[in-house]
Amino acid sequence: MTKYLHRAIADGILTITLDNPDAAVNTVSPTWIDEIVAAFEEAKADDAVTGIIIASAKPGFMAGADLRFILDNPMDALTAFAFGGRATEMHRLIETCGKPVVAAMTGFALGGGYELALACTRRLLVDDPKAVVGLPEVNFGLLPGSGGTQRLPRLIGLQKAAEVLLSGASYAPADALKLGLIDEVWPKEEVLEAARVWLATGPDPVRPWDRKGFAFPESDGLLKQATANWFTGQTGKLRAKYGDNFPAPISILTCLFEGMQVPFDKGLLIERRHFARLMADPVARNIIRTTFVNKGLADKGARRPAGTPKATVAKVAVLGAGMMGAGIAYSAAKVGIEVVLLDTTFTAAERGKAYSRKLVAKQVDRGTLMPDKAAALLGRITPTTDYADLADVDLVVEAVFEDTAIKADVIAKAQPMIGKTVLFASNTSTLPISQLAESFVRPGDFIGLHFFSPVDRMALVEVIMGRKTKPETLARALDFVGQLRKTPIVVNDSRGFYTSRVFQTFIHEGMELLRDGVAPALIENAARQAGMPVGPLAVIDETTIELPLQIVRQTEQEDSAFRRPNSTEVMEKMVDVLGRIGRKSGGGFYEYQDHGGKRLWRKLGEHFPVAGKQPPVKEVVNRLLYIQALEAARCLDEGVLAHPADGDLGSVYGWSFPSWTGGTLSLIETVGVSRFVAECDRLAQRYGERFKPTNQLRKMAAAGGGFDWG
Ligand code: NAD
């Protein structure tokens, strides 16, 4: 009896049908490998079998490895080497069993699923745009570890294979055929018959690389000069794109480079070594944990309190048709929600709708949106100035100016017009939700929905619980975020919530570095080298230096325990003395050129002298990353974050904290909690109390533990 596959034999053709009883897709698992190996060993020994078809009983052919399994089973390199060997040997057995084998792919084949197809003599795919094939491993910080990096270049050529392997892209049937990833495309009901017909022609089962004299087109035994040059260019490009943060792309390139100069089985061994190294590297696990597993769980409502029936918003009111309101209106209309878009004047409300017009026009031009769909989307947005239009909405999202009095005013105007159970959400980025909720007659139904700019492109929504927000309100708000197909994190009310609070530490540390005499170019480059998309000085210039200064001054007024950071001196000098507010005022830490270029302000050194001795890059990187990680740990301690996964997701999707770290909190585990604590103690001694580790981190370090990922 087999669990993961059925076998049937007719007219000498063995059909192996993959059918995982435990999940909706077929995945690679140790038992599945055992069963495939047993099936092929039997078939190899059975003279009555003249050909083999691998098919699937599922809508998809096969997905790759189970990412949850990789996450739950950390491996050192030796264990990973052995682990990778089993699938590699299985694929080698398939292609050397002496019988022609056809992959009859009735649906998508990705990762290990497509590697299985690569080990077959021929690949047939159904004519269905959802039936994509590809090797997405690079997206998880890995490489295809059971022959993918060796078979593909031998099959379609080095450069095309590099494109497939390094992009991690999925290819629909027509593109897959053009690239040579598959051999034939068939209608679903004909694909099995087509496999039988091909087998009936008596094809040669020996793969090209197992024939004598096989050589890559790009090689004549030795590496051709042009190919060697191409590799050099690729290495440079990958280094520029990933720095030292992502080991997988360089490993893939190395497997191609070395693999093409050795016999096939040697190539497999090289690939296996690199695979083992990547599996043991924390980067792959970080990416898998945050970008796939925890994001998937958040999208499925991991933080949704149970017991409230699922709610669907049919109509939403968006108050304020500015940058954020316009984006929220578009995102809602896009998923079929009716939108009332209200502003103080009809012109302003119309301008908000015009944003959607611009977005859909671009998509229609590109051919990614049909004109009738575009018209329907726009038809769902009703610009207005009249609160009576809020009569039948299910939810109100407020996105007016960041001003408590104005927000209280629109809440008071909306309140009598809406139903008794309608939720009220505020998109404030800084004002305490609990305080705003007091302006609403039912504070339990009031919640923060903090969208990010540009709303149509940013996946994250920070959902903020006020002191009185009811669990049912949270459940309904999360249902709305799910309807928008965005990823929620749930945080408790606090100054700056989670995302703005932690991000502020990054920009303040940038200015602290400047004040300490670190060269501005070193600050900016170290941030980018760490994987932040832009340096702290460039970011501040975009949002203006006034903004963090205003936050500091306001916090000082409201919180007597608050101590102004040293960076305030930098901000005051820039804004009050030098009048350099940022890009908006024509210049800040940078100077801006007419043709759109920019460079660090040449006179910055006159006002913030550069020290004679500069710190190593690593020191600057650590200051910029660790200060954020520490603040995230404080948010966890204080209950602003209820779950470390939300801290990671918020950082990666909210402000592009480097994904190789897994996020602010995963970074601490990547460094190792005790090492992180020791390093923070050193930084605190040298640069100030802000680097002092939390008691919770000290306890975790002493116990040798990590966060409770639950
Ligand atoms: P914005 O200035 O672009 O738009 C605000 C809009 O509100 C304007 O169209 C204005 O006419 C309208 N408005 C003002 N008073 C009003 C009233 N009484 N009634 C109806 N409409 C009124 O501002 P924005 O950037 O869209 O920000 C809106 C809110 O979203 C703020 O609370 C802000 O803190 C928050 N937010 C902004 C960002 C961002 O990146 N800009 C990100 C997250 C959250």
Residue whose CB lies within 8 A of the most ligand 1 atoms, among 318, 429, 460, for a mutation test:
429
What pLDDT is recorded for position 221?
62
Give, for ligand 1, the residue of 319, 324, 404, 415 to mutate: max count of ligand atoms closer than 8 Å to Cβ: 324
Which residue has the CA at smallest separation from atom 28 of ligand 1?
399
The H or E element containing residue 463 is strand 460-465
Q: What pLDDT does residue 670 have?
A: 95
Calculate mean pLDDT across residues 37-52.
97
Task: Answer yes or no: is pLDDT of 139 > 90.
Answer: yes
Q: Which two tokens stand for residue 323?
A: 């940058």
361 CA to centre of ligand 1 in angstroms: 24
pLDDT at 589: 98
**Cβ atoms within 10 A of the Cβ of 172, count?**
18
Please provide the average confidence, as pLDDT, over all residues in the chain: 95
Evaluate: CB of 542 within 6 angstroms of ligand 1. Answer: no
393 alpha carbon to ligand 1 midpoint, in Å?
20
Reply yes or no on whether the pLDDT at 430 is more than 90.
Answer: no
Q: Using CA positions, which residue lies closest to atom 4 of ligand 1?
A: 322
406 lines ligand 1 (CB under 6 A): yes
CA of 331 to the centre of ligand 1 (A): 16
Mean pLDDT of 131-159: 96
Rounded distance from Cα 66 to ligand 1 centre (Å): 43
214 CB near ligand 1 (under 6 Å) = no
Residue 664 has pLDDT above 70, yes or no: yes
**What does the alpha-carbon distance between residue 665 and residue 683 come to, in Å, rounded to a whole number?**
18
Distance 402 CA to ligand 1 centre (A): 6
pLDDT at 68 over 90: no
Average pLDDT (283-297) is 95
| pLDDT score, position 236 | 95
> From the CB of 449, is ligand 1 less than 6 Å away?
no
Q: Return the pLDDT at 489.
A: 98
Q: Exposed, middle or buried, 159 (CB in 10 Å: 0-12/13-18/19+)?
A: middle
- How far does the centroid of ligand 1 lie from the alpha carbon of residue 398, in Å? 8
Confirm or reject: Cβ of 413 under 6 Å from ligand 1: no
Is the Cα torsion angle 165, 166, 170, 175 positive or negative in sign? negative
Which position among 91, 274, 450, 643 bears the catalytic label?
A: 450
Residue 409 CB–ligand 1 contact under 6 Å: yes
Tell me, in angstroms, the distance from the centre of ligand 1 to residue 324's CA: 6
From 318, 319, 323, 550, mutation site for ligand 1 pocket: most ligand atoms within 8 A of C-beta: 323
Tens digits of per-residue pLDDT, 448-457? Answer: 999 999 999 9
**Percent of all residues in the chain with a pLDDT value above 70, rounded to a whole number:** 100
> C-alpha distances in angstroms, 307 versus 303, 310, 472, 492?
13, 9, 8, 21
CA of 405 to the centre of ligand 1 (A): 13
Mean pLDDT (whole number) for 462-491: 98
325 lines ligand 1 (CB under 6 A): yes
Is the confidence at residue 218, as pLDDT, over 80? Answer: no
Q: State which of 386, 390, 401, 461 you would mutate to test the pocket of ligand 1, scoring each by most atoms of that ligand within 8 A of its C-beta.
A: 401
Q: What are 575-605's pLDDT values in tens digits? A: 999 999 999 888 999 999 888 899 999 999 9
Q: Say if residues 262 and 120 touch (Cβ distance below 8 Å).
A: no
| 170-181 mean pLDDT | 97
Residue 400 Cβ < 6 Å to ligand 1: yes
Atom of ligand 1 minimally distant from the CA of 400: 7
pLDDT at 49 over 90: yes
Q: What per-residue confidence (pLDDT) applies to 225?
A: 85
- Residue 58: its pLDDT value, please? 95
Is 274 an active-site residue?
no
SS3 447: strand
* Among 239, 276, 226, 237, CA closest to 255: 276
Percent of the chain with pLDDT over 90: 90
pLDDT score of 220: 65
- Preceding amide of 371 cis, omega within 30: no
Q: Which helix (H) or strand (E) covers residue 116, if one does?
A: helix 112-119
Predicted confidence (pLDDT) per residue in 493-507, tens digit: 988 899 999 999 999
- Residue entry with tokens 């709610």: 311
